[in-house]
Every structure is written in structure tokens, then in C-alpha cells.
Structure 1
Amino acid sequence: MIKQKSRNDKFLRLTVESGEGCGGFAYKFQFDNSINEDDSVYQENEDKILFVCDNLTLNFIKGATVDYESDMMKSAFYVQINPNAEKECSCKSSFSPKDSVFNF
């Protein structure tokens, strides 16, 4: 799915939203086609898949691992491991950040 969307000049954007989810912060994945001045852009090896996040989000996810899961219930991107999370919810979509994340 990422490869298909990427061919249409779209890329995967990850943002973190406060006041969301059971952990107080939520990950939000969406396909986008514009890169902003404060975005960090990453490319996934030879697949040429672009992954983008803004610099504020980067403080919350730096060093994190993003994965994709598909089963009978749903198909979704999720953050598998986030070294900046104090607690992570079992829903895989929300978390509580460590206090050190706010020291930027």
C-alpha cells in the first residue's frame, strides 16, 4: 500500500497529537503530498518510500520503529517501539511521553 501511494507523489506522514487517546498523546498516520519547511524527510531503502514528520513530532518519536500490521480485524501503521514513551497503550495508537521529551 505504501509503494502504491508513493508512486502517486504521496508519502506517509506521522504526527503526534496531544489530548488524544488513552495515553494523552496519539500517533496519527496519513498520506500527504506536501512537504513543509519544518518537516524531516526519510527514505526507506531501495523502495524509495518517503516518510515525513514535522520537527515537533520528531521530538516525540526520535528513535522509534514504525511498522505495518494487517490481520482479520484491521490493517494499520503503528509505532512498535518508542524510546520516548513512558507508557504505551495496548491499542498501539496512544502513549504517555517521558518528561525529557518536553526539554527541547
Structure 2
Amino acid sequence: MSNSQHQDSTAIEPGLKVTVEGKTYLANAGDVLGREGTVAKDVFYFIKTVSRIHVKISKQEGRWFITVPKSVNNSTKLDGVEVVRDVPQKIVGTRILKMSESCVVTLEAD
């Protein structure tokens, strides 16, 4: 087995960094942001303007994406632009996700 093949099979892919209220979390594909999510639930749980399942995180072809489900009623903006529901949004570099008037999240992808 060549060295590059070995590295590919054992490499740990970095996650998407999610920062909310001064705390940084590492999210992986399949994670969810929201009151009943899998990342930062301890923070989102107390923010009633955040939906139970507010943002889904995915990774395709090495790129990170977030998707806001149709079930989310509150305004959700990515870098100041309203997010279209059920349409994956690519996350490259640092992006600002405003999940509601009282919840702003920073997303960082490599």
C-alpha cells in the first residue's frame, strides 16, 4: 500500500467549527443545530427562537454545506442573506449564520 493510500484510509477529516455564545464546537456531517440538535444543544436549548431542528450539516465532495429545513419558520440568514429552505448552502471560510434575532453563529470550514 502506498503512503498516500494509507493516509487516505486513516485520515481524520476536520469538522466544521461552530461558535455560539463564545463556545466553539466541532460538527461533523449528519449533525444538527437546534434545540434538539446534536451540536451545542446546551446553548440552543434555551433560545426559544431557534427551532428544534434548525440547520442540518452535510459534507459532499470535501465541501461543507448547511441546509435549513422547510419546517423552520424564523428568519435564518447566512452572511445577511435569507436562506432558501431545503437548499444546501456551501460553507467556505468563515460565515455568519443568524438563526434568529437572538442567536448568531459563526461557521468555519477549512
TM-score (norm 2): 0.31
TM-score (norm 1): 0.32
Q: Between Structure 1 and Structure 2, which shows a larger proportion of strand residues? A: 1
Q: Between Structure 1 and Structure 2, which shows a larger proportion of helix residues? A: 1
Report the structure number with the largest CA radius of gyration.
Answer: 2
